[in-house]
Chain A
Amino acid sequence: MEKTYYNPADLKKFGDIADFEPELAKKFFDYYNDVFKEGALTAREKALIALAVSHTVQCPYCIDAYTAGTMEMGVTEKQMMEAVHVAAAIRGGASLVHGVQMMNKVKKLSM
């Protein structure tokens, strides 16, 4: 086993997952490429969503790829950070909204 779980060089090997299961990998990459094509959303908007989601799923490969990707598209640092805050707000909000469950339980148990 490697001494660290993440190696930046592994990002380039993403395509290698096809070595162990080519058919499913092909399906995945075809789907992936189609998802990021210009559609009802622009490629730029999709890349920003991807950047935000990368932070939510805490994927260092994705953060690496979509930081470079959004920079290439001319997205500003401010826009990138706002996207990260959107991810953080949803993540934080998701925790906090469960506080209602906690409060419901407290109220139910309390005299």
Chain B
Amino acid sequence: MPKSLQAQHHNLADKATQLKILSNGIFADGQLPTFKEKIEPLNEYPLKPTSIEIFQVNVGYMCNQVCKHCHVDAGPDRKEIMTRETMQQCLDILRKTKIHTLDLTGGAPEMNPDFRWFVEEANKTGVEEIIVRSNLTIILANPKYHDLPEFFKKNKVRVVSSLPFYQADKTDRQRGEGVFDKSIEALKMLNAVGYGKAGSGLNLDLVYNPSGAFLPGDQAGLEREFKKELKEHFDIDFNSLFTITNIPISRFLEFLIRTENYEDYMDSLVSAFNPAAVKGVMCRNTISVDYDGHMYDCDFNQMLGLKVDKKAGQHISEFDLEKLENRNIIINQHCYGCTAGAGSSCQGTVA
């Protein structure tokens, strides 16, 4: 199994190096406008939040997969993990605010030993929705995870699963040999307990992201294809397909640079810039929390070490809803990824 950039001691494991690449070169020499320059004429700079509705908590970077595009640089060699104490601080925030969604991500969030405790306790806070971003294969990775579908069902968790394609070759190329077959098996287990079935109230959504240096196509069209193919060949049902643009950071940035696609890809993102998507970017209603309790405008800023505006308080121990809702969102050139075409967010397209 390949190693994370961090375990390889790759220079792109360093957040400052990534930021330097994103800020210099084609953006510094004026070939392409910076994201700030692009949104300034739209009166969207500084970018401001609308409200905080989604609390996205990254419970650790450990994962059983090492996907080629992973913006987290997750893998079995990553040991960063959220403690129960930090989870408790998150729960306290959910209790005292009107945040309606807890969005759990990783790595493979299920690998955090306190994951189940966290989900059960979160349900007691009255939060309306708990999402788990599952890579699917974790369900089969070890007998101790086999009952996850039942656990999700019992706790009314919405499952959002990565499946980059409905055929094995592209999926395995991006996520590792054998991942597709295991994902299909896991989807069948989720379907078996009612996930994705009409009328069950158990939501199973899939996430598509392009398997290379190109943008995602029309979400509705791809959803139709995925539904038809997965039903016909594997008798699998799911609710919605979310198309997500690959963001040029971490391992995807490494791929872009190594394959000499970086400049063309950034150019496509800038050319496809959609002002309407700026209105719906996820950082406007989301706070992203890392395993250590620090807060970011989104999961991508988390991976670049760009914490929320200092004036708003940067750790959940200083959580202040009013300050956070009035902060300036930190932006950089990777933000073009969320505003290209129909836009991109953890819930799919935004425009």
Contact = CB atoms under 8 A, between A and B. Distances in A.
A62 B167 CA distance: 27
A68 B170 CA distance: 15
A24 interface: no
A43 B221 contact: yes
A72 interface: yes
A53 to B, nearest CB: 20
Contact of B217 (A12, A73, A77): A73
Interface in B190-247: 208, 210, 212, 214-218, 221-222, 225
B271 interface: yes
Contact of A74 (B169, B222, B267): B222
B252 interface: no
B55 interface: no
B152 to A, nearest CB: 27
Interface of A is mostly: helix
Contacts of B221: 42-44, 73-74
A71 interface: yes
A77 B225 CA distance: 15
Contacts of A33: none
A44 B271 CA distance: 22
B214 A68 contact: yes
Interface in B111-141: none
Given A74-B165, A76-B167, A12 B218 contact: no
A43 B221 CA distance: 9
A73 B222 contact: yes
B222 A71 contact: no
A72 B243 CA distance: 11
Contacts of B167: 76
B225 A12 contact: no
B165 to A, nearest CB: 7
B302 to A, nearest CB: 27
Contacts of A74: 165, 208, 217, 221-222, 225
B166 to A, nearest CB: 8
Contacts of B216: 72
A72 B215 CA distance: 6
Contacts of A42: 221
Interface of A: 12, 42-44, 68, 71-74, 76-77
Interface of B: 165, 167, 169-170, 208, 210, 212, 214-218, 221-222, 225, 267, 271
Given A71-B214, A74-B225, 7 more contacts: A12-B267, A12-B271, A44-B225, A72-B210, A73-B218, A74-B165, A77-B169
Closest 4 CB pairs of A and B: A72-B217, A73-B217, A71-B214, A74-B222
